[in-house]
Amino acid sequence: MRERINNYWTNRAEDFSELRLHDFHSGLRARYTEIIKDHLPKLDSPRVLDLGTGAGFFSFIMKDLGCTVTGIDYSSAMLAKAEANAADLGYSGIVYRQMDAQELLFPDESFDFIITRNVTWTLPDPYKAYSEMCRVLAPGGGILNFDANYGQSFKEADEKGEQLCHPTQTAEQLRERNAIAKSLYICDKARPQWDAEVLISLGMKYIEMDLDIIRRIRDEANTDARYSTISRSVTSSLFMVYARK
């Protein structure tokens, strides 16, 4: 399943990179930056892990905020896009590594801040990923996760036999996405309550949830359907979870 998920995202690397670059040059960049600044530790050059960096969107924002940034992704194709985008945008000093979020190859307490978006719902074992995040997080550090009940929505749509259409994905890709969603246990969890319970069980001392984060990141000017990062079917389930160690 891990390789199947990797193949899906590898096949989407090109269009996914285009989407994230559009986000970066839109109002979403400033909106996410303000949210991140509210939670970033007040340190000189915080050590940041961009977990599931994809095309590098958050790694660029974190670099702009004066952080020491490491971005990881399981897909080598995604990492190639992140590195190319960094070069094109003039960013240097960001370290990109191919790595599984469920098996982080970093020593304990390596980072002051971990940021991730739309990753936990795609993982075969998100509990293990959270456990690894907590392990490599330094005391006082924070985890900021933007996610949604995407898998649950895709699973329900597939069961209803709804038409498969997407501005940047083929019907075959959508069928594979839905099939993967059906196999992931997190898609049957009540989120983000499940996330909060897991993080508390792993020793996090402070939890903050925003079940309506869309109100802060919606970009009214970003109206082109090809670049919409938010599916209408899951708008109401977008959330943010912040945990501090």
Q: What is the pTM of this model?
A: 0.90
Per-residue pLDDT, 73:
97
Report helix, strand or coil for 191: coil
pLDDT tens, per residue, the chain with 245 residues: 888 888 888 888 898 999 999 999 999 999 999 999 999 999 999 999 999 999 999 999 999 999 999 999 999 999 999 999 999 999 999 999 999 999 999 999 999 999 999 999 999 999 999 999 999 999 999 999 999 887 777 777 777 776 566 777 788 888 888 888 888 899 889 899 999 999 999 999 999 999 989 888 876 555 444 434 444 444 447 899 999 99
User: Quick check: bond before 46 cis, omega within 30?
Assistant: no
Q: Which fold has domain 2-148+190-244?
A: Rossmann fold (3.40.50)
Main-chain dihedrals φ then ψ at residue 116, nearest 5 degrees? -155, 145
Per-residue pLDDT, 224:
44
Residue 17 buriedness (CB in 10 A; 0-12 / 13-18 / 19+): buried
Rounded CA-CA distance 143/173 in Å is 30
Rounded CA-CA distance 118/107 in Å is 25
- Could you tell me how far CA 14 lies from the centroid of its own chain? 17
Number of Cβ within 10 Å of residue 142's Cβ equals 22
Rounded CA-CA distance 191/185 in Å is 12
Task: Please check whether residue 100 is in contact with residue 2, taking contact to mean a CB–CB distance below 8 angstroms.
Answer: yes
